[in-house]
Amino acid sequence: MNSVGEGCTELKREYDQCFNRWFAEKFLKGDRSADPCSELFHKYHTCVQKAIKEKDIPIEGVEFMGPNREKADS
């Protein structure tokens, strides 16, 4: 599966692999240890954030707002 940001797909796959493993082997089995994927997520997240801003995708309610995104007040 690809990322919306064409250049982010590889980073996404690495993060997904880490997450899916933790999700199946730890989280669903009741293991409360935190996932080891934070660094991978951070790299991937930075990439996606940029792609979303570039494509002007109107994400709601996620701390995604960059300095040049302003919500119109009605």
Partner 1 sequence: HDFHPWETVTKAAMQKYPNPMNPSVFGVDVLDRNVDQRGRLHSKRLLSTEWGLPSIVRSIIGNTRTCTYIQEHSVVDPKEKTFELQSTNITFTNMVSVDERLVYRPHPEDPEKTMLTQEAIISVKGVSLSSYLEGLMASTISSNAGKGREAMEWVIRRLNTEIEELAITARGTLRTPMAAAAVTEK
* Site for partner 1 contains 28 (CB under 8 A): yes
* Site for partner 1 contains 48 (CB under 8 A): yes
Neighbouring C-beta atoms of residue 53, cutoff 10 Å: 15
Query: What are the angstrom distances between the C-alpha of 72 and each of 21, 51, 69?
Result: 41, 22, 10
* Site for partner 1 contains 65 (CB under 8 A): no
With contact defined as beta carbons under 8 Å apart, do 8 and 44 qualify? yes
* Site for partner 1 contains 3 (CB under 8 A): yes
Give me 27's structure tokens: 């989280």
Binding site for partner 1 (CB under 8 A): 1-5, 8, 12, 15-16, 19-20, 23-24, 27-30, 32, 34, 41, 44-45, 48, 52, 55, 57-64
